[in-house]
């Protein structure tokens, strides 16, 4: 299911899927984003909240549940480490835009830095793209460190 393209979300399903995404995201420590395909829903809904993460910029948007989001503008470029609940044992260096504008069912927003990275990661899930699909070489993939 993670490699499939999600269908546009209907208003009737979006609220329930959004609640499930937020509940699931909050049940995992340090989770900052989740997309509907990760919980078995092939609809274009994501949830992102980086506000409690140490990498978050002070100007983040807080909790966002976005329905039918799409990037309409992007600038900058930076390589940084990413991980994913769907592939818990690996992290990788991934190049992403440093600023994005996202249109969604309720309007639009701008995002930068770590939050922009997270939004791009979750938006990729809606198109069946995993972060490992974006690595430049196998040398950019690492086993996740486990701290006890």
User: What is the strand order of the sheet 45-48 is part of?
Assistant: 33-35, 45-48, 64-67
How far, in Å, CA of 80 to CA of 95, rounded?
A: 7
Q: Which of 41, 82, 115, 122 is catalytic?
A: 122
15 is catalytic: no
Alpha helices in the chain (DSSP H): 11-26, 113-126
Please list, in sequence order, all residues whose beta carbon lies within 8 angstroms of the beta carbon of residue 107, skipping any fewer than 6 positions away.
none
DSSP state at residue 59: T
For the annotated catalytic residues, the residue numbers are 122
């Amino acid at each position: 299911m993670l490699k499939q393209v999600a269908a546009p979300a209907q208003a009737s399903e979006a609220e329930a899927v959004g609640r499930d995404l937020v509940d699931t995201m909050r049940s995992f420590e340090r989770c900052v984003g989740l997309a509907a395909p990760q919980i078995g829903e092939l609809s274009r809904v994501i949830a992102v909240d980086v506000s409690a993460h140490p990498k978050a910029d002070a100007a983040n948007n807080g909790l966002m549940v976005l329905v039918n989001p799409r990037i309409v503008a992007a600038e900058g470029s930076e390589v940084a480490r990413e991980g994913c609940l769907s592939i818990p044992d690996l992290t990788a260096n991934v190049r992403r835009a440093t600023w994005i504008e996202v249109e969604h069912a309720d309007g639009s927003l701008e995002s930068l830095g770590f939050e922009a990275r997270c939004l791009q990661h979750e938006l990729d899930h809606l198109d069946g793209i995993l972060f490992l699909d974006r690595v430049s070489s196998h040398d950019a993939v690492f086993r996740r460190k486990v701290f006890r």
